[in-house]
A and B are shown apart, each in its own frame.
Chain A
Amino acid sequence: MKITNIEKLKEKVINSRDKTKTWVTVCGGTGCHAYGCMKVVEAFQEEIKKKNLVDTVGVRTTGCHGFCERGPLVVIQPEGIFYQRVGVDDVPAIVEETVVNKKIVEKLLYRDPQTKQAIIHEQDVPFYSKQKRIIFGNNGLIDPTDIRDYIAVDGYQALAKVLFEMTADEVIKEIKKSGLRGRGGAGFLTGLKWEICRRESAPIKYLICNADEGDPGAYMDRSLLEGNPHSVIEGMIIGAYAIGATEGFIYVRMEYPLAVKNITIAIEQARKFGLLGESILGSEFSFELHVFKGAGAFVSGEETSLMASIEGRRAFPRQKPPFPAQKGLWGYPTNINNVETWANVPLIINKGADWYSKIGTKSSKGTKIFSLVGKINNTGLVEVPMGISLREIIYEIGGGIKDNKKFKAVQTGGPSGGCIPAEMLDLPIDFDTLTKAGSMMGSGGMIVMDEDTCMVDVARYFLQFTQEESCGKCVPCRLGTRQLYEILTRITKGQGEPEDLKRLKDLAKTVKTGSLCGLGQTAPNPVLTTLKYFRHEYEAHIFRHECPALSCKDLIIYYIEPEKCVGCLLCLKNCPVGAISGERKQVHVIDQELCVKCGACLDVCPPKVRAVSKYTGKKKQQILNKEKKARRR
């Protein structure tokens, strides 16, 4: 079916649907998948069949709703009743009580940890109520494998408006006016980028969606592709129209099989509906779109190396200029934007640049989706207006730190970014404030760290990452990141030297200035920010062989406090290397020579006993000395 009038189609879709029907929507994002949501979906389908409710109740599998922490999530529509941590066993109760009798199943409701109050509706859950979900909100409403769901929520209306009511220049003007900046990291003005590409005269132009999402700990791009693929496709067609491109690619990283699947289905459906291919919606504009699966290289997220990858070559970045807008894929002008950037486009066209630019700060407009992860109570994806403070995100939306621990830092910007300390929690975040703090917006990873996270180890972790992922083209990047990594490793092992602090700084500078692409240029940021804000932790490791977070394996010991141990044998049974000795009801002892510091003993020791402790530095040495003396005796 090729359609020419999207408004009419929307009407048709809506009229064809029974408005009295109840919908059981189950989150089918990767997080909820991992919790086993597909079994829940099946159980609902069976139960509904069993109860002969097929005509009045439907089951819809959606993309990620954002609140992955409480998955599997189930929302009963149209009422918006929100159930969390739903298992297969809960299905009959939900169908019987809520779907049939319109009553609430109390035990599946979300409880506000502070007020202890049960919350019935999705929009009242604090995690959601403080967000501004203009891009991500539809994820919970649509089945990504059914284009009609997207059309029912005004999908492809922006495209129709652009094709029939706007010139290409007007589209670019609108995007420029909105102030939209690229969400892939650098924050370049999207409208300006399009304009540069439009001005190039060439027989062929290409368009790319960067869905390589390399930041380890960020997954908003994946969730958009999985949950609302048509919003990205629509944005791309609009962009293609504005620039004059005839063909596009969506480059998805290979670790995201569900995203690849859903975007492929979406492209097929769009083609069937006449929204891709020849003369879109009956207009004179034609555009083709392909999915390209990456092959596991972080550097291929960099735009020039991404294009090399599509061309079937190794993903080496190259010098710029020429910029992709001038010389891109196969030498033709190419415009590349990030997934979330594309998803913003239909919204701006629909609501207007004036509306859009009212959201956010002076220099950064609109919202940003962050992946709020790590030591936080409400792990998930949060969409917030630019300019919101870190404190609001972490404490009001994120519900604070896990297990009532103390907040230490938040890492933004992935391997290119840095760690921001507690003193800066009130920083209103946008592209520029984060850069000023020595970090970066990046793609939106936000990893929360608590008192148990060692900041030297975090720097070491990121340098291990960049060192492995450096493509090796530039010597300062290849060797410099390796050296940084080696020095940091040395420090975490307690073998650091006082000169290392200066060495790190000097090396960081060399790598920053001597590298060709963003990977090398930003790789030292995790070291520099931790050195700046957490220098005392470096000093503790180097000068006192102490890991204040009790995290670095070589600097800590596990120790069973004799006066607390009740001799229950639990730790002994759980030690993987047989390092613990002791008889029932007698004090257990850890053989420090054998212990591999896996932490199992501390983990299993009953909470009432808590006999296992970790020690570092002086205290650790005292214990070791005491044990040595005892052995000699």
Chain B
Amino acid sequence: MEPRKRGQLIHLLHQAQTQEGYISAEAIAAIARKLKISEGEVFGVVTFYKGFSLKPQGKHKVTLCMGTACHVRGAPLILDELERTLQIPAGETTPDGLFTLETVNCVGACALGPIVIVDGEYHGQVKPREVKNLLVKVDENLDRLKEQ
């Protein structure tokens, strides 16, 4: 069963990420020890998969679907608007740690595209001009952030 030990790697990384919100250096070290592989190997796997993040995530998570169905229904315009409002490119977290913006490819709710998921809540048929309200609703600090 020894060669199969390493098969736990991705599972352990998921666990670490669920607990801490990201994959910390300590988590990498602990997992490497547990599976008896080098930290470099764990790191290589973490960076290969988009599902793992090496950086702490913001308080609120904003996810935009960029799948094909959402794309043809105007997701790029929503992305522009999200990036403009949050003043960060997709994949980043606002400097104050409030919002992380990320894109995914199809969450399987194509009938409602374009889709924005804010802290696990799905918003369908989003229009660019509704973006700001969606964000302000979860955190009033957004307005302040913009005025600074």
Contact = CB atoms under 8 A, between A and B. Distances in A.
Interface of A: 30-31, 33-35, 68-69, 71, 214-219, 222-223, 254-256, 292-298, 300, 309-315, 330, 371, 373-375, 379-380, 411, 414, 445, 447, 449, 453, 458, 461-462, 465, 471, 574, 576-577, 596, 598-600, 603-604
Interface centre among B9, B73, B77, B106 (most CB of A within 10 A): B106
A368 B73 CA distance: 25
A374 B108 contact: no
Contacts of B52: 295-296
Interface in B63-79: 66-74, 77
Contacts of B111: 31, 68-69, 71, 373, 379-380
Interface residues of B, number: 49
A482 B107 CA distance: 25
A255 B129 contact: no
Contacts of B10: 292-295, 309, 312
A295 B49 contact: yes
Contacts of A375: 72-73
B84 A371 contact: no
B68 A445 contact: yes
Contacts of B132: 576
7 contacts: A68-B110, A217-B68, A294-B51, A295-B49, A296-B51, A296-B52, A312-B9
Contact of B106 (A216, A315, A576, A599): A216
Closest 7 CB pairs of A and B: A296-B51, A312-B9, A34-B122, A295-B49, A216-B105, A216-B67, A217-B68
B81 interface: yes
Nearest to B4: A330
B30 interface: no
B6 interface: yes
B16 interface: no
Interface in B108-125: 108-113, 115, 122, 124
Contacts of A256: 108
B25 to A, nearest CB: 19
B50 interface: yes
A580 to B, nearest CB: 13
Given A34-B115, A314-B45, 8 more contacts: A33-B122, A215-B68, A215-B106, A255-B104, A330-B4, A445-B68, A596-B80, A598-B129
B17 to A, nearest CB: 9
Given A216-B105, A218-B106, A312-B10, A296 B49 contact: yes
A603 B129 contact: yes
B34 to A, nearest CB: 12
A554 to B, nearest CB: 12
A243 B43 CA distance: 37
A380 B112 CA distance: 10
A298 B110 CA distance: 18
Given A35-B124, A222-B108, A312-B35, A374 B49 contact: no
B14 interface: yes
B8 interface: yes
Contacts of B7: 310-312
A363 B50 CA distance: 38
A297 B68 contact: no
A293 B113 CA distance: 25
B28 interface: no
B13 A596 contact: no
Contacts of A215: 68, 106
Interface centre among B13, B14, B110 (most CB of A within 10 A): B110
A230 B10 CA distance: 25
A247 to B, nearest CB: 10
Contact of A254 (B51, B67, B73): B51
B128 A598 contact: yes
Contacts of B77: 598-599
A219 B108 contact: yes
Given A34-B122, A379-B111, A603-B127, A311 B6 contact: yes
Given A69-B111, A295-B52, A598-B128, A374 B6 contact: no
Contacts of B110: 31, 68, 217, 219, 371, 373-374, 379
Nearest to B49: A295
A612 to B, nearest CB: 13
A218 B65 CA distance: 13
Contacts of A314: 44-45, 48-49
Nearest to A226: B108
Contacts of A447: 68-69, 72
A256 B110 CA distance: 14
B137 interface: no
A461 B84 contact: no
B51 A596 contact: no
Nearest to B105: A216
Interface centre among A223, A374, A411 (most CB of B within 10 A): A374
B8 A312 contact: yes
A297 B70 CA distance: 19
B48 A297 contact: yes
A71 B112 CA distance: 10
Interface in B5-58: 6-11, 13-14, 35, 44-45, 48-52
Contacts of B128: 576, 598-600, 603
B72 A465 contact: no
B49 A34 contact: no
Contacts of A71: 111
Interface centre among B7, B72, B107, B122 (most CB of A within 10 A): B72
